[in-house]
Chain A
């Protein structure tokens, strides 16, 4: 009884607090605790880093297309900004190329996609879709964003340190990562600690919010699939990141305290035996295991929110319920669980024995099943639908075959025997870029166009949206299809000259030029998107709270939603995709609306 009285007192006190307190600028916009503001902070930070990572890649593409040629105009400037040795005379040095490669991967994955897919979309949409007023832990939410920010600053700053940024790949394998003399490699490890902390805090928040703050009537099987996807993503981040954090600490110790966690005895570096400094006795394989234990669930972190976004948009723009909701839920849970037991398929070439190799090959093939079930359910959902081809739907539709290609090209790699030939080639690069670029990034674009009206009350321009879509679609395929062929011809990853010195690469070497041109064209097609995005904030067509006539709870809130999200406590009466229900007066019913009277026949 005591506790209840205290609760009431607490509630009254805080409610009073809520209504009358207008936050100062720095608490509303900078150290924001409102999930929508934090979601936008993640969005802008993520998009800026996505662009920066893209620029790094565009620099690399010059070197790959025209190895050894000075980069006109910008070449000298880059040398001035980053360091004289990086681009002497405008020609890219191999060390700088390696830095660009390592940081492109790191930034795109940890500072681009994860903050966007999980941080931005998750934060903005999940509380709204479950009818909550905010995340369970608003201050922890803010802390998670600022940890990301610090990690981003650290990674960015590493370019300007003596020696430049990390250059041992985004995978930072030992022993190379230990012996790279640049401060950048150490900063990479420190940056990773911040980024991992950010994700862990975010994961705790998301999981607690989804379990605890679903409104009345919103049972697990009435949740929008987007929320399920974010829920599983939260668990992947929560349980898979800490081993990498441990590994990062150990690699940091190897670099700074001269330990030998990952350094074997008898190691010779640059013709020098290392036993005068290091004890030896460690294992480079240990790093790989700990890295990929995260690395594999990480790729599902990259794709699952995207699948969630696409599902929402397909349901809304086909005007019918998603086919196979239960299989979708069980599949996303299975993918989550299985993703923890496949990691060594990134390590087939490390000499593991037959029994363990068979185990990982089997689990890897198995995990393709739930992934295919998800894709199939989404495709079948189109059948008999009344499809509206607006911009978000274009991106969502394109996601389906693109993810299909990405996933199917991954399947051969599950087999040790095939991986023997394709490991570390451009085939791998093409495979994972298909899934993340034409897959996830398309889903993210779809989500931006789709939820923009909720965040701003206005809609983005449809014409320029389609220009953005078609340009991106054509260019992305032009970039990555030739890469499959290059990989199958034997062109390896991380070659500074793209294979120019190898005879066997001769038939596919010219693709480098076409791919680079397509990459630069892709950049041009992002310009209408950027302009559209900012222009529409003030000048876009004003729309109602539910311009897409969608059914999920976020569309019941005002656009943009105020602090507290909903004008009254919500209650849910039905599933998330009640479109075109026979007998209903409209072709959609929001989840919180009580049953309408049936049409008299």
Chain B
């Protein structure tokens, strides 16, 4: 005997099994990202009004045009995955592969941009001084008794490298997770999101490639698989729709 409702829906719920399954999984993901968003709010409310631990404006550290571009890329990937699924419903495997390919490409672009952003952060430093201030810029060298930094400057003009003695330094950190609570939650939220993008892309790539074998023997089941993967992908897009304004704009 077979497991029922793997393809056709059960009448009273209107659902086939995998669709219910993916929605349940997405509910758990809402709680996962929800906990991180709650953490963001808590850390931000907790932050002092002044000093080095003051909560920054997103635009102080993050590039808004790049973030906007990435948002557009993900939204585009959402419509392409729908068009891919729709192609399958209308029995066109070739079109499906074009659209799913476009979705995967969008995902790659998104990750590439994120990698560029992360890399840029890791090469930018801040030296926290004993007076309760911080100087940010490009780290030239770090030795046992001193550190040299080219401070950030407004406009195009180059600053001179500045020398800081160890006695005045509290700590030195790149703009990585340990720089401040803002960066900690930024990297955790976007990092976990990126892991979900990668996971979704692996599934999409499988469905684009070896997975299409199922189209020949069980087209309805394959179509449902694509729909389920699409639902996950939309969720990934949804999370970013909140991440972008919260981290970059506020």
Contacts and interface: CB of A to CB of B under 8 A. Distances in A.
Interface stretch (A77-85, A270-278, A509-517): A270-278
Interface string B75-93: 0000000000000000000
Contact of B170 (A258, A275, A282): A275
B143 interface: no
B53 to A, nearest CB: 4
Contacts of B3: 132-134, 136, 138, 213
Interface in A519-537: none
A453 to B, nearest CB: 23
Given A133-B2, A564-B1, A239 B27 contact: yes
A282 B181 contact: yes
Interface in A1-49: 2-4, 6-7, 9-11, 13-15, 18
Interface in B158-195: 170-171, 173, 176-181, 184-185, 188, 192
A15 B178 contact: no
B8 A253 contact: no
B161 to A, nearest CB: 23
A293 B36 CA distance: 13
Nearest to A275: B170
Interface residues of A, number: 61
Interface string B213-236: 000011111000000000000000
B35 interface: yes
A250 B188 contact: yes
A212 B5 CA distance: 8
Interface in B1-58: 1-8, 10, 13, 15, 17-18, 20-21, 24-25, 27-29, 31-36, 38-39, 42-43, 46-47, 53
Contact of A11 (B2, B32, B170): B2
Contacts, number: 160
A286 B5 contact: no
Contacts of B179: 279
Given A18-B1, A261-B184, A243 B21 contact: no
B178 A279 contact: yes
Contact of A260 (B25, B33, B181, B221): B181
Contacts of A10: 6-7, 217-218, 220-221
B2 A246 contact: no
Contacts of A276: 170-171
A281 B53 contact: yes
A203 B192 CA distance: 22
Nearest to A563: B1
A238 B28 contact: yes
A18 B1 CA distance: 7
Nearest to A234: B24
A281 B178 contact: no
Contacts of A250: 39, 184, 188
Contacts of B1: 15, 18, 133, 564, 566, 569
Given A14-B2, A136-B21, A213-B17, 5 more contacts: A10-B7, A243-B32, A275-B171, A279-B180, A281-B53
Interface of B: 1-8, 10, 13, 15, 17-18, 20-21, 24-25, 27-29, 31-36, 38-39, 42-43, 46-47, 53, 170-171, 173, 176-181, 184-185, 188, 192, 217-221
10 contacts: A212-B15, A238-B24, A238-B27, A240-B31, A242-B34, A250-B188, A253-B177, A257-B178, A276-B170, A283-B42
The 4 A-B pairs at the shortest CB distance, nearest first, are namely A243-B35, A242-B32, A246-B35, A242-B31
